[in-house]
Amino acid sequence: MTTSVVISGTGLWTPSHKITNEELVEAYNGYAEKFNADNRTDIEIGELAAKPLSSAEFIEKASGIRSRYTYIKDGILDITRMRPNIPKRADDELSDQAEMAIHAAKKALTAANKTAADIDAVIVSCAYTQRSYPALAIEVQEALGIKGFGFDMLVACSAATFALHRAYEMIAAGTAKGVLVINPELTSPQVNYGDRDSHFIFGDVATALVVEAAETADAEHVYEIMSTKAVTSYSNNIRSNFGYVSRANDSDPFANDMLFHQEGRKVFKEVCPMAVEHINEHLQRHSLDSSNVKRWWLHQANINMNSLISKKLLGREASLEEAPIVLDTYANTASAGSIIAFNLHHQDLVSGEIGLLCSFGAGYSIGSLILKKH
């Protein structure tokens, strides 16, 4: 008999600090004007390019983002700093990302009607972890009193869906009875707030999900994972060179290439058709098509990407009820975007209805799950 694997609870932790486009643009423009004044001579002789100004209208039109949450606001809008000021914690204190993860994990456990005793595997999966070891997942496991094992995973924007794939396989194989998948997306330390093209894109958040066998699930809202599908295809169009080798190759730890950077237009053009093909193939595996899907919990990187993808899938614009958007308030939260959409927009589905969860981003990486409400 094959085990039916379900998602039985989700948790969302939203930081209390919020930055609007207007606040962000005012800080960036102040920084750019100061940079241009300080470097006027080099700019005049063509040695240095002047920094162009940003605009809140452009940001909303090009991305759908109006504001974002940040773990710490202090420092980001300071034009002499342009990065969050996150105090260093001692080794015996809970780390920042573990703290974010625990907030979301507790909510997911409550929603799933579970306690630590029901979980025996913890996966912390996100775009960055603040240290290499010990794994954040093991720190979270210890703090929550979970027996078993934990490990960290990095798959940029597809970290959450790829971790759900692993959780699904572990439950199906019987190697775990309850898995907590947690995505503490602390993106703000990697954002180049002095770069007009990308200063507005990201926000911080943490999401969590409980994955278990259908036979142990007793929560109010339970979703069977009908199947998972993943694909990766190498691309340098979204990149960060930050890493532990920098010390050995004498690179500047504050250089622009150590931060998130991208060829946004190329990403848009290349990833949209990949995502459409991927989703159609996944649905075909179950002899389904887009008309069978009640809800699309799509990755949240750019509203124009989502509307293009849903237009190609449905042959028309998707309504906000069919394909919810959380970008306007959360911005791009790396792998957590589709999970936030799921968290906020899943309870109204009725038994037997189908939804599709899909991430797409750096790598390139695409991950999808077809979910059926119990």
Contact positions toward ligand CO8, by CB under 6 A? 54-55, 58-59, 62-63, 127, 156-157, 187, 190-191, 196-197, 200, 202, 238, 260, 262, 264-265, 267-268, 301-302, 305, 332, 334, 361-362
Residue 121 bridge partners (DSSP): 149, 179
Please report which helix (H) or strand (E) contains residue 99, including its range. Answer: helix 96-112
Q: Between 49 and 117, whose beta carbon lies closer to ligand CO8?
A: 49
What phi and psi, each to the nearest 5 degrees, are found at residue 278?
Answer: -60, -50
Closer residue to ligand CO8 (CB): 190 or 246: 190
- Nearest partner of 176 among 132, 137, 143, judged by Cα: 137
132 burial via Cβ count (<10 Å: 0-12, 13-18, 19+): exposed
Query: Least distance from C-beta 214 to ligand CO8, angstroms?
Result: 32
| Closest separation in Å from C-beta 353 to ligand CO8 | 28
DSSP structure string for 17-57: EEEEHHHHHHHHHHHHHHHHHHTHHHHHTTSSPPPPPP-HH
Q: Burial of 181 by CB count in 10 Å (0-12 exposed, 13-18 middle, 19+ buried)?
A: buried
Q: Which residue is listed with tokens 């809970």?
A: 94
**Least distance to ligand CO8, CB of residue 335, Å:** 8
Q: Where do the H-state alpha helices sit in 150-294?
A: 159-173, 264-285
Query: Is 272 in the active site?
Result: no
Smallest distance, Å, CB 361 to ligand CO8?
A: 3
Nearer CB in complex with ligand CO8: 141/183: 183
Please say which residue, 261 or 346, places its beta carbon nearer to ligand CO8. Answer: 261
Q: How far is the CB of 89 from ligand CO8 (least distance, A)?
A: 21
Residues 181, 125: contact at Cβ < 8 Å? yes
Which CB sits closer to ligand CO8, 186 or 283? 186
Query: Which one of 126, 157, 272, 358 is the catalytic residue?
Result: 157
How do strand 261-262 and strand 238-239 relate by DSSP bridges?
antiparallel
Tokens encoding 325: 């958007």
Residues annotated as catalytic are 157
